[in-house]
């Protein structure tokens, strides 16, 4: 028997689940955690508490390299606003189109460092160094929509890395001009995050059904076994902890997949073939977790409420 964890995003979610599932969810224990989406995915896929761990060293764990220190460069857009500049994400199709050009620019800008594309994540690059990368960074999801001046890297090496952010913006400006790309969609810079010291390769005990590129990359780097949602729904018994990532599905796909998965999970919970269901409602820098076990349905004193009402409370919070 094992635990099932499902992650969804709060943005534009207005699901109408069945009354039975709403009653189960409203009887779960609700926990709010200050956790970025990146760190949440790390914990769910590796089965490890994040604490002082970092994402870049995990993604580099299987790299055959002499580098001991790693940081991620993510393709982003810097958008001018009132009194400051703001970070926004790049459409998925534009990530593929810009990948080769971005890697070339990174190699030119970061002379003396190694630059490796992250398999399965066209917006991410691993930057390797033999010297410590002594900065504190914000994960991309935590920096989105925030004034750039409040989330730039800090620490002893911050001046160097902030200058690289500026330099890359100028290089991207020239690249988009040369290739005639749409400047409103094409990335115009990179964001550095996730830095840390090398880690040894390991095998995760979690089986993963990823939807977003980072989840796929983390699952591959941690050697986690893969499972498709349709295979999970057909399985009689699941013996390994399972994580189903629905975060990158479109609205209708996310609603339908959540409905089907929860219905199956509730039946497994009642049969005793599943010990716990955890629903993770993700915002950029906060995760609300609802834990349900087989005894939750007996908490009849809880007031029944619909999931979309809870989603609105999470969004407003």
Kindly tell me if the per-residue pLDDT of 17 is higher than 60.
no
What is the tally of structural domains in the chain? Answer: 2
Is 30 in the same domain as 138? no
Is 306 in the same domain as 212? yes
pTM of the predicted model as reported, rounded to 2 decimal places: 0.87
pLDDT in tens, 142-187: 999 899 999 999 999 999 999 999 999 999 888 777 666 666 667 8
Is 98 in the same domain as 148? yes
Of the three residues 174, 197, 220, the one that is the final residue of a domain is 197
Half-sphere exposure of 240 (CA within 13 A, CB side): 18
Is 138 in the same domain as 12? no
**253 to 15, 38, 204, 245: CA distances (angstroms):** 11, 22, 27, 12
Of the three residues 197, 230, 252, the one that is the final residue of a domain is 197
pLDDT in tens, 234-293: 887 778 899 999 988 776 777 778 888 888 888 888 888 889 999 998 887 889 898 988
Q: What φ, ψ does residue 194 adopt, rounded to 5°?
A: 75, 20
Is 126 in the same domain as 210? no
pLDDT at 76: 92
Give the residue numbers spanning the domain of 241.
2-52+202-316
Is 260 in the same domain as 310? yes
Report how far residue 103's alpha carbon sits from residue 169's, in angstroms, rounded to the nearest whole number.
Answer: 14
CB 189 within 8 A of CB 169: yes
Is 129 in the same domain as 211? no
pLDDT in tens, 91-108: 765 555 677 788 999 999
- Name the range with the highest mean pLDDT among 78-92, 190-204, 227-241, 253-267: 190-204
Of the three residues 197, 224, 241, the one that is the final residue of a domain is 197
């Amino acid at each position: 028997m094992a635990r099932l964890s499902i992650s969804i995003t709060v943005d534009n979610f207005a699901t109408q689940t069945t009354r039975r599932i709403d009653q189960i969810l409203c009887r779960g224990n609700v926990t709010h955690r200050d956790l970025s989406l990146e760190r949440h995915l790390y914990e769910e896929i590796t089965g490890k508490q994040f604490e002082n761990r970092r994402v870049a060293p995990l993604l580099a764990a299987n790299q055959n390299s002499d580098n001991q220190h790693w940081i991620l460069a993510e393709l982003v857009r810097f958008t001018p606003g009132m009194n400051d500049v703001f970070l926004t994400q790049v459409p998925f199709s534009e990530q593929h189109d810009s990948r080769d050009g971005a890697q070339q620019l990174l190699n030119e800008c970061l002379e003396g460092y190694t630059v490796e594309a992250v398999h399965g994540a066209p917006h991410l690059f691993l930057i390797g160094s033999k010297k410590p990368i002594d900065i504190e960074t914000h994960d991309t999801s935590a920096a989105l929509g925030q004034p750039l001046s409040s989330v730039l890297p800090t620490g002893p090496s911050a001046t160097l890395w902030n200058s690289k952010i500026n330099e890359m913006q100028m290089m991207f400006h020239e690249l988009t001009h040369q290739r005639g790309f749409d400047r409103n969609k094409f990335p115009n810079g990179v964001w550095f995050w996730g830095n840390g010291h090398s880690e040894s390769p390991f095998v995760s005990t979690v089986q993963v059904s990823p939807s977003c590129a980072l989840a796929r990359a983390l699952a591959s780097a941690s050697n986690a076994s893969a499972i498709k949602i349709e295979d999970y729904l057909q399985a009689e018994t699941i013996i390994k902890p399972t994580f189903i990532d629905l975060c990158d599905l479109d609205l209708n796909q996310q609603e339908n997949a959540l409905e089907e998965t929860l219905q199956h999970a509730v039946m497994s919970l009642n049969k005793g073939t599943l010990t716990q269901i955890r629903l993770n409602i993700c915002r950029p820098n906060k995760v609300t977790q609802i834990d349900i076990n087989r005894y939750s349905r007996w908490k009849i004193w809880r007031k029944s409420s619909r999931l979309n009402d809870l989603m609105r409370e999470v969004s407003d919070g």
